[in-house]
Amino acid sequence: MTRILGHVSALNRYPVKSMAGERLATAELDWQGIEGDRQYAFVRAANGTRFPWLTAREVPAMVLHRARFEEPGKPKTSAVTVDTPDGATLGLRDPLLMARLEEAAGEPAALIQVARGVYDSMPVSIQTSAGHAALEAAHGETLAIDRFRINVIVESDALPGDWQGKRLAFGDGDTGAVVQCADPIQRCVIVTIDPVTGAKEPRVLRTVAREFGACYGIYAGPARPGVIRVGDAVRVVD
């Protein structure tokens, strides 16, 4: 019998790139990633580069906007609602939301929907409790794990780098998802933004860079579509 490496302690889905997301009890993993994850993104309308996204780099307060699907189980067709930092609730396509983001960015923007998800690199991100604890120890204080926008958080004594190149299976039987772990996740300035206050703390990125080679968590790709549930056992498989 394969050894249990840990258990899934949290699942996160981010309907809109750079906005706060949803806690899930169950995530459906297909060949594109977790269904609904990063399905929408705002772009800088006049930006013709390979990285046109309007993100928290330009508007740090985007992380304080919480996006959620009105029909959580139907992300491909569901409308999206956004709770704003000032307590308003707006539809994702509400012109007022667009106007506020454009004002904060100082440039025109547009909203796009991409069925496969708008990922910087790979579709699934994983971190372990041990990996996060190591960062907190190096940094010398508690850090909200939401700052790092991880999809799958695993309660485990292992470090995520221990799983590089391995396949992880979630749950039991044929319905559980399997992922192929790939490279450590290179981190950028977005991790300096507090997910609760929006305040910037450059020391966070300096700690990640100095102590962990600028990496936090590990990327993975779907190896078998299926379900991931909070509480699922996590195993290495051939």
- CATH code assigned at 58: 2.40.33.20
pLDDT over 90 (residue 221): yes
Distance, in Å, from the CA atom of 42 to the CA atom of 51, rounded to the nearest integer, reads 11
Question: Which token pair is 7?
Answer: 């258990």
How far does CA 50 lie from the centroid of its chain? 20
Residues in contact with 19: Cβ distance below 8 Å, sequence separation at least 6, in sequence order:
62, 63, 65, 66, 67, 82
What would the mean pLDDT of 1-19 be, rounded to a whole number? 93
Distance, in Å, from the CA atom of 198 to the CA atom of 192, rounded to the nearest integer, reads 9
Per-residue pLDDT reduced to its tens digit, 115-157: 889 998 899 999 999 999 999 999 999 999 999 999 999 999 9
Who has greater pLDDT, 48 or 127? 127
For Cα atoms 205, 210, 214, give the angle at the middle one, nearest 5 degrees.
55
The reported pLDDT for the residue numbered 3 is 85
Question: Which amino acid is present at 182?
Answer: A
Domains identified in the chain, total number: 1
Boundaries of domain holding 136: 4-237
